[in-house]
């Protein structure tokens, strides 16, 4: 079962990388929206 553990470990690593990419993309989207509307969306 060592190979299954390795595959699960690799999958966990890939999911973490994807999560970080999503966070970066979300931050970029928020920055673009802020520039488009001229203020921070959470500022009210």
Tell me the per-residue pLDDT of 14-41, one tens digit each, with 9 for 90 and over. Answer: 999 999 999 999 999 999 999 998 876 5
pLDDT exceeds cutoff 70 at 1: no
d(CA 42, CA 34): 10
In angstroms, the CA 43 to CA 19 distance is 26
User: What does pTM read for this prediction?
Assistant: 0.68
For residues 13-32, b (16+ Cβ closer than 10 Å) or e, as one string? eeeeeeeeeeeeeeeeeeee
């Amino acid at each position: 079962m060592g190979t299954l553990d390795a595959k699960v470990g690799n999958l966990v690593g890939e999911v973490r990388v994807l999560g970080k990419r999503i966070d970066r993309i979300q931050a970029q989207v928020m920055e673009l929206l802020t520039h488009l509307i001229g203020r921070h969306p959470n500022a009210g």
